[in-house]
Structure 1
Amino acid sequence: MNIDEALREAMAVEGAVGVSLVDYDSGMTLGQQGGNALLDLEAAGAGNTEVIRAKLRTIASLQLDDTIEDILITLQRQYHIIRPLPEAKGSRLFLYLVLDRTRANLALARHHLRRVDQALIV
């Protein structure tokens, strides 16, 4: 599935507010769906590149032989899921999904995003 199809599929998750595909080397958004006046997906994507970079530095400094499956940020009204794509897919990219906590099932959303990740061809 291409980027646009993957983003549409991610937005099919119950409670999805917005989703983007971000390059975490540059912080640039490669595609996005959803969002609103209170959710600037480009700014959020750029900011979350720092979250991934910090976690990767921590993993390296601890000499862990492991990778990030996803990062969950829980806010009072939203869930933010950051899911890095395997580097084998080309570049260093992540899917960023924002969910409304009152409508979302977190376990199903994570499962759905994993399926999108596996089907995405960049």
Structure 2
Amino acid sequence: MTAVAESVDTASIGRLLQQRHDEAAEQVRRLQDQTESMRGSHDAGAGDAADVGTLALEAAEQAMVTMALQEQMTRLQAALKRLDDGTLGVCQRCSTQIPVTRLQVMPWATHCVPCQSIVDRYR
């Protein structure tokens, strides 16, 4: 099947992918800055045990969000690579065209909706 280039403006999809990647990278940077700030306040003697526990919980939550954002960045980078090599928009399971509307919502999609349902079922 043909790649997304024949049915979608690849430049706009590329801009969308890059924009979402840049936004995720900025969020990761801000979270890392917040984590460093929290560590600094902890090192400065941030109070009682409850304060220390709260800081630890917040740091753990930020770490989880950071991991999710880094995973999203990886998916976006892979999608940009598929855009460059002309395979973005082709289902990796059945080789059919991924609907444009799906790519507009989830530009990193690697499967059409029916195949994604199958893939999700076996995870």
Give the TM-score taking structure 1 as reference length. Answer: 0.30
Greater radius of gyration (CA): 2
Greater per-residue strand proportion: 1
Give the TM-score taking structure 2 as reference length. Answer: 0.30
Report which structure shows greater RCO (CA 8 Å, sep ≥6). 2
Greater per-residue helix proportion: 2
